[in-house]
Structure 1
Amino acid sequence: MATPSPQPPQTNGKTTPKLFETIGTFGRKKKIREAEAAQGIVQEGKQAIDGNEQHPVFDTSPESFVLADGEERSMIEPGMINNYDYQELRKILINWINDELSDHRIIVKDLTEDLYDGQILGKLVEKLSGQQLAVVEVTQNEDFQRAKLKMVLETANRLLGLDGQRVRWTDKGIHNKNTVEIIHLLVALIRFYRAPIRLPPNVQISILIIQKLQGTLHKRVQTESLTEAYDELSKRAEPRDAFDMIFDHTPEKVHSIKQSVAHFINMHLSRLNIESSPPDDIDPHSFSDGLNIVFLIGMLEGYFVPLGNIYTTASVDPIAEAVGTKETAFKSHNYMESSPHHKLHNVNVALELLEDAGINLRNKVRAEDIVNADLKATLRVLFMIFSKYKNVRY
């Protein structure tokens, strides 16, 4: 007699799930979890590659800062963290650094976390300046990090020609991960070395400053400008004038201007035994250290520029210098190959002398452009001198 097949037990009219069905359910759930995890990894990787991470909002409230009396702290106002222009500027700066340091296989993802110790900043300054910095490569010691960062910033400030009053960053601020100070430094490097990128113009950020006075925390908000009005190549945008139109659209007139200006300059500087340019052309490198401009304006205005005010390696007759005989004093003058800092100082002296003579070029010419031998900027300066003094004869 055949044995009947066993029937599955009944529970409240429902059939108990079979084992393979239960395993199948677990398998589907596992696949869903794996897919979600994979999607998260892909999204995280995409954000890292795009370099468009959002700066984290501060978890610590200002009231929880531990400050000594008179001490102050600053932070980006939380409401400004996701500001579009600010985030776009951060993204552009990150991409620029990664492009500059691609040969070193360095990838920056966050300005604050990656630059605060001076390691990557040092590599960036070396790449831009072409100078090797005498600093240790890698260090985890905080004191060594601070010492290295200080040396990197001192080098950067010297290359940029900045003194203490005009510097908007400190080794303490950057090491404490002050994003605004880091951005100020990077923007200054971009402007000075004329990086071929466009910065978003007029980016401003609100800074919340907390100060402790007599045991009480005081708050204030100030607006910080991170960029100004720039056109391409990080050059300050100014209204265009007739010189811009001639230089950009009529090259034949530019050649004629070069000839006239070169003849004028050589005629005057030859009295100091100085050859500044070819007879019919302008070589901007001859003026990049500012010396020829300083000597030219001194000749035209009829005064002697003390050599102590500029960087030279002059061999000067002290008697001739004392009586102000320019022809004799400069006769044996030999120029040195100045550092960018020395060149920048000389050019700024020249622009100040021109301003005293009634030629104000501060809104049209940057000293950095002259140092970098930019033809248009150099020719503009020389043409303005020529226009004012072309009828001067000796």
Structure 2
Amino acid sequence: MSRTPYTSATSQSAKMRKDESFLGRLGGTLGRKKKSKEVSELHEEGKKAINAPMLPPGTDIHPEDTLLEENAERIMLDPTSRENPKFKDMLKVLIDWINSELEEDRIIVKDLEEDCYDGQVLQKLFEKLSGRKLNVAEVTQSEIGQKQKLQTVLEAVNELLRPHGWSIEWSVDSIHSKNLVAIVYLLVALAMHFQAPTRLPEHVSVQVVLVKKREGILQTALVTKELTSTTEMMMGRLERDAFDTLLDHAPDKLNVVKTSLITFVNKHLNKLNLEVTELESQFADGVYLILLMGLLEDYFVPLYSFFLTPESFEQKVHNVAFAFELMQDAGLKKPKARPEGSL
């Protein structure tokens, strides 16, 4: 008597019960996952509903911008401000200035966010401007190493700028996270403190998105940040020179000093059949200053090195900046004045 049919039927029945049990468990698992996903989506929709009215149009909140501790906040540049012509002009001015300062180091900056975040450029720039060597590793690839370098650089910067009344609008985290507003604040402060031979655009303001975390919920607001004011107000932070002091305390003696300077200048410029009668206007474009340096140092300044009859503002700035270079080559200290400040 064969038992095969019975065994086969029993085995098939057991397999069906097993499959039903597995499908049941699978259905329960899928059901729980679906329900959990729905709850999660509902929670996210609730957060978005709360935050949406405060979120500026066209602003993208990236995932890393939401990873905030409770009561922490983060600032991001509003997209409309990024396209502001005056702001874009400021970025170009700052980039050109940095590249001019670091030309000897063969460092070329093309993008402030991508080139300044790791501390390498900021280190070289600060060392060049201050004449102070920082004790940091030359090359750092790791995030920890980059932040350590930034920490050292920013401590030196803050130590230098804070006593002069600068508001510290940057931090290690903001610079390393490529916060363009923080980077620009830092560079503007350095440019003004060290009297960079460039003209920063006046009245540059940007709108930033301020993201805060309160009770686990992200809150956003639009805030206006002023990056530069007028040249006069920004220059007011700089150290006053002897002529400022003379003008404040003995204005009657200023004309005596000017007369003496004119006599000295003409003693040399007369050799070229040139004469100065008014210092402010005749030295403003840099031509007489360049020629005077050549006469005092006894060399001929090639005419292709400067604009003999400058017409544009840029050409005049070039002349004055070139004259300053000749002064430094002669062993004089770097002038406190800015080339464009004479125009």
The TM-score normalised by the length of structure 1 is: 0.45
Partner of 2:235: 235
Is 1:90 equivalent to 2:94 in the alignment?
no
**Offset of 1:123 from its aligned partner?**
0.3
Corresponding residue of 1:200 = 201
Closer, same or farther in 2 for the Cα pair 1:95/1:373, shift >3 Å? closer
8 Å CA contact 1:63–1:217 kept in 2: the answer is: no
2:185 counterpart letter in structure 1: H
Deviations 1:309-357 (A, max 9, x none): xxxxxxxxxxxxxxxxxxxxxxxxxxxxxxxxxxxxxxxxxxxxxxxxx
Cα distance, 1:255 vs structure 2: 7.6
Q: How does 1:1-394 map to 2 (within 5 A)?
A: 60=61, 65-162=66-163, 166-230=167-231, 235-236=235-236, 243=247, 251-253=255-257
**Other structure's SS at 1:73 match:** strand
* Native 8 Å contact 1:157 1:163 kept in 2: no
The whole-number CA distance in structure 2 between the counterparts of 1:68 and 1:149 is: 22
Structure 1 residue 210 displacement after superposition: 1.4
Rounded to whole Å, the distance in 2 between the matches of 1:208 and 1:140 is 30
CA distance in 2, matches of 1:178, 1:374: 31
**Gaps spanning 5+ residues in structure 2: where?**
1-57, 238-243, 261-333, 338-343
Alpha-carbon distance in 2 for matches of 1:198, 1:231: 12
Cα deviation code 1:268-295 (max 9, x no counterpart): xxxxxxxxxxxxxxxxxxxxxxxxxxxx
Give the match's secondary structure for 1:200.
coil
Q: Is the 8 A contact 1:62 1:210 kept in 2?
A: no
* DSSP 3-state at the match of 1:158: helix
Instruction: Quote the RMSD (CA, aligned, Å).
Output: 3.8
Shift of 1:78: 1.5
Q: SS at the partner of 2:231?
A: coil
Deviation at 1:160, TM superposition (A): 2.3
Q: How many residues align?
A: 201
How far 1:212 sits from its partner (Å)? 2.0
Alpha carbons of 1:204 and 1:163: their partners in 2 closer, same or farther (altered >3 Å)?
same
Partner Cα distance (1:89, 1:198) in 2:
9
Alpha-carbon contact 1:228-1:236 (below 8 Å) kept: no
User: Bigger relative contact order, structure 1 or 2, given CA contacts below 8 A and separation 6+?
Assistant: 2
Q: How far, CA to CA, are the matches of 1:186 and 1:117 in structure 2?
A: 15
- CA, structure 1 residues 121+254, in 2 after alignment: closer, same or farther (shift >3 Å)? same
* Segments of 4+ moved more than 6 angstroms: none
Contact in 1 for aligned 2:59/2:78 (Cα 8 Å): no
Which residue is 2:317 aligned to?
none
Deviation at 1:231, TM superposition (A): 5.0
Distance of aligned partners of 1:180 and 1:147 in 2 relative to their CA distance in 1, 3 Å threshold:
same
Shift of 1:188: 0.9
Question: Percent identity at matched positions?
Answer: 41
Unaligned runs of 5+ in 1: 1-56, 257-371, 376-394
Higher helix proportion (structure 1 or 2): 2
Q: 1:133·1:152 contact (CA, 8 Å) conserved in 2?
A: yes
Letter in 2 for 1:105: R
Q: Secondary structure at the match of 1:136?
A: coil
Partner secondary structure for residue 194 of structure 1? coil
Q: Structure 2 CA distance, aligned partners of 1:71 and 1:188?
A: 25
What letter corresponds to residue 110 of structure 1 in structure 2?
D
